[in-house]
Amino acid sequence: MIKIVKRLLLKICKNMLYLFITILQFTWQISNIITTGSACPSVFFLQKEKKIAYLQIPKVANTSIISCIFKADGKNYEDIHIKLIPQRKNITILLKEFYKSIEFSEYFKFTFVRNPFTRLVSCYENKYHTDKALLGDTRYFLYYDTYLFGMLKEDRGFANFVHKVTKIPVVLADLHFYPQYNYIYDRSGNKCVDLIGRMEIIDDDWDAIKEKYKLDTLPHINQTKSMNWMDYYDRTTAELVYKYYEKDIITFGYEDSYNELIKCIETKECQEKLATVKML
């Protein structure tokens, strides 16, 4: 009897904690939307001494870049000043408002982007599998257990994840799959950085920054396990992701990747049809 009561109390406490975290997370999202026009406002990391400003985009080698700029261990950063750039206002005006004490125009501002198709695969693998493996049985909640009242709580495969994510309004999107375009451009189409590098050629793009600002070679921290990202997609999910991240794909030059993905899917479909015919 005592064991039953303990289990019941534990379950009640867990549900109450779940509800509390869910409400807290949703309140934080709404607060960001009200104050900045987005649940995921842009964040700059400033290095005053070298006058460089890095615009962080989640799932695009952030830990490696930040640890290199600040010569930190990937967790404890020094000399960092974070400012938010609301999506609903003009970036030029905002920079003047936010950096009154800093001549921000003198800073070299840069960021890195990533193929939206691989970024979403990385997000899925990290939040459902990597985190679970790291936390093991000690976990109480995974990252998406409380997001939007558990909308992404269950891992029912990548296709199901894509269908759910692409139904979420961009304004409520989680920072890990929030469109990269919206981090970099305001609603008038003004860009808030001087350089946009690409993760696929990150070492080459980093070399130019490294030489000019006397930085170290970029370390590769928190690398995602090797994967063939095309194997995750079928025609439907590929088209859904293209539609959701159309600005990312067109603006940052990933149309070839989409076309390559469609060709790969068509080849697989043909092979599957041939295999079915042979079986018959």
Q: Per-residue confidence of the chain (280 residues) as pLDDT tens digits?
A: 666 666 666 666 666 766 666 777 777 677 766 766 677 878 888 888 888 889 999 999 888 888 888 765 444 454 555 555 555 555 555 555 665 556 777 889 999 999 999 999 999 999 898 766 666 554 556 788 888 888 898 899 999 999 999 999 998 899 999 999 999 988 788 888 999 999 999 999 999 898 888 888 887 766 656 568 999 999 999 999 999 999 999 999 999 999 999 999 998 876 665 555 454 4
Please report, for the chain, the start and end positions of each structural domain, with discontinuous segments joined by +: 2-228
Query: How many other C-beta atoms are found inside a 10 Å radius of the C-beta of residue 117?
Result: 24
Could you give the CA distance from residue 217 to residue 35 in angstroms, rounded to a whole number? 37
Find tokens 């952030």 and name the residue: 62
The tokens of 22 are what? 């869910």
pTM: 0.82
